Amino acid sequence: MNKLDRTAFLPVSKEDMAVRGIEQLDFVYISGDAYVDHPSFGTAIISRILEANGFTVGIIAQPNWRDPESVCTLGEPKLGFLVSAGNMDSMVNHYSVAKKRRRSDFFSPGGKMGLRPDYAVIVYSNLIRRTFKKTPIIIGGIEASLRRLAHYDYWSDKMKRSVLLDSGADIISYGMGERSIVEIAEALRSGIPVQELTFIRGTVYKTHIAPDGDDVLHLPGFDKISTSKELYAKSFYNQYLNTDPFTAKTLVEPYPDDHLFVVQNPPQMPLSTEEMDDTYALPYTRTYHPDYEALGGIPAIEEVKFSLASCRGCFGACSFCALTFHQGRIIQSRSHESLLEEAKKMTEDPDFKGYIHDVGGPTANFRKPACKKQMKVGVCKNRQCLFPEPCPNMEIDHTDYVSLLRKLRALPKVKKVFVRSGIRFDYLINDKDETFFRELVKYHVSGQLKVAPEHISDGVLRMMGKPQNSVYRRFVKRYKELNEEMHLNQYLVPYLMSSHPGSTLQDAVKLAEYLRDLGYMPEQVQDFYPTPSTISTCMYYTGLDPRTMKPVYVARDPHEKAMQRALIQYRDPKNYDLVTEALIKANRRDLIGTGKNCLLRPRHGDTRFAPPKPAANSNKPFDGKNKNGAKHGRTSQPPAPQSRRWTGEPPKKRGKR
């Protein structure tokens, strides 16, 4: 990394404050991530936004949650503490979907695991409150944002209250938060008590008196949704329908046992292109704090150091994705000038080798709202832009993205510009103008293009909110044709998901057969992970599709989930027993054997697949027919004993006689 003076970063110690002449900070930001001053990290954006608006901010990164003094190292702030778990929910950061502890943490020095607590927002906030009884605490980031109202918690397997209550914090800034955090800061600076900040968009607060009116929607109380899955599914869907800044109502969730109401104001309005540009033009150092250099640096920076975030938001709205709740469905984009300026700075980095690793966002080829009306009246409440069919009002247009990529390719020192963010192939294949598709294949694929069909069963895809498998097949066919036309040998790497609600063992077998026909076994498979605030997680917990309230099959048993996952990697010898069991349970023994369509060859000595033995003392002569009555190929003698047939294992070498 570049050797930067620590004064280029925000203060992380009393010494840093003294150098800047700061006696008391306005805000102290406590984060579960190491301090990386790069716009891909929420801590950097929020702290730099506050700095640009005249507030002083200090960073306490990964404090020792076992020591109350660790949150006191910068003293008491004038206006409040800001608390975030980091770029990921701390439970997702710590545990795999099988609830096993992960071995490394890319957001910690040297990738070391264990430097933040489980449920970090709650732990940090309670730690602060032990020492600072009345100082305002504002929580935000992905963990607080997606747990802002009552939610199902996969790791404890139960319903949990709003994180606002369990943390003891005063207010949540949810979503991306640039606007709401500045409004909160200015209100606190003007002397308004934090308990009276009930009017700011993009925030959640608690109160003893519930608001009322035509623009207020009262949800069922926590006491009711924690005992009724059907009621929770209905409540969750009402939350989902109120995530658009133009149409959302204020949501009120009662907590009778606490004599409190948790109130969610509508989301902050989308940022304009100018505001997005201003956010990314702030004086980030674009690297980790120099204190981490001796500890091995922060691995997460490698993923984003030479990548450009061109947009945010996603109107794809997949059921298993929390983007609808966090960034929203309205696309917000940066200007070409802003992106080109950042790219030029990138090329001056000594570590830059000529390759821009990515230009995108949640979905790379979304550069503007799906239709013109979205920036005037918001997104449709009861229909999706791409699912189950593309909306006739949607404007499918890659012109701006093509123009941007051409300008980036033309920059001095740039050899190649890759697109590695997710590509919505259904949006792409429905574009009548193939310019982007052709240039994507020709210039922007690094040998492999990653796409996310997720599954091949239309029933499962419907639960996922994804297009039918026929759409993906059209895309694959055209991608192959373009590669052949250009004399390129580039591959598609499909992201696949096992055990999503709606997926039965039979669906998993169909997916395995598809991979067999494709001649491909993925190295990585994503087993469905029930993270807070997604439609899929609601389905997983309730067994109901909240959109229709119809029952959904859910694979909740860990062993069945393991079988579905193993089927996708059926060629891996480690999965032999799981795949065998799955095929038998799915009544697909026809896929076990030596035929060309079989998924599995029985191992030598595995008697589960042997034909039944003849009855003892049977003197009935062999009549040349098999058990179904058909003539056997050889009638002069019975078939060779089972022990001499091919078992799937190579024959053993014989020794010399």
Domain boundaries, given as residue ranges, for the chain:
6-217, 492-609
pLDDT at residue 615, as a whole number: 53
User: Is 371 annotated as contributing to ligand binding?
Assistant: no
Q: Is the peptide bond before 388 cis (omega within 30 degrees of 0)?
A: yes
Tell me the C-alpha distance between 561 and 505, whole Å. 9
pLDDT band at 605 (very low <50, low <70, confident <90, very high): confident
Residue 414 predicted with pLDDT over 80: yes
Phi, psi angle pair for 544, to nearest 5°: -130, 145
**Residues whose CB falls within 8 Å of the CB of residue 253, separated by 6 or more in sequence, listed in order:** 149, 150, 162, 219, 221, 222, 235, 261, 262, 263, 264
Residue 237 predicted with pLDDT over 80: yes
Instruction: Measure CA 517 to chain center.
Output: 29
Residue 74 predicted with pLDDT over 90: yes
Phi, psi angle pair for 309, to nearest 5°: -90, 105
Mean pLDDT of the chain: 92
As a whole number, mean pLDDT of residues 390-401 equals 96
387 compared with 523, residue with greater pLDDT: 387
DSSP character string of 561-624 = HHHHHHHHTTTSGGGHHHHHHHHHHTT-GGGBSSSTT-SBPPPTT-GGGSPPPPPTT--PPP-S
pLDDT in tens, 153-190: 999 999 999 999 999 999 999 999 999 999 999 999 99
Lowest mean pLDDT among 122-131, 358-367, 502-511, 640-649: 640-649
pLDDT at residue 634, as a whole number: 39
pLDDT at residue 95, as a whole number: 97
As a whole number, mean pLDDT of residues 290-298 equals 96
Residue 639 predicted with pLDDT over 70: no
User: Is 318 annotated as contributing to ligand binding?
Assistant: yes
Cβ atoms within 10 Å of 601's Cβ, excluding its own? 17
pLDDT in tens, 6-49: 999 999 999 999 999 999 999 999 999 999 999 999 999 999 99
Residue 653 predicted with pLDDT over 60: no
Tell me the C-alpha distance between 446 and 491, whole Å. 9
pLDDT at residue 613, as a whole number: 54
* Residue closest to 295 by CA, chosen among 121, 117, 115, 116: 115
As a whole number, mean pLDDT of residues 133-157 equals 98
> Contact 303/280 with Cβ under 8 angstroms?
no
pLDDT at residue 657, as a whole number: 35
Only one residue has tokens 């150091």, namely: 305
Residue 636 predicted with pLDDT over 80: no
As a whole number, mean pLDDT of residues 457-466 equals 96
pLDDT in tens, 530-553: 999 999 999 999 999 999 999 999
As a whole number, mean pLDDT of residues 443-465 equals 94
Only one residue has tokens 């259904």, namely: 426
Residue 496 predicted with pLDDT over 70: yes
319 compared with 518, residue with greater pLDDT: 319
Residue 568 pairs with which residues in a beta bridge?
none
pLDDT at residue 646, as a whole number: 37
pLDDT in tens, 470-493: 999 999 999 999 999 999 999 998
Of the chain, the percentage scoring pLDDT greater than 90 comes to: 87
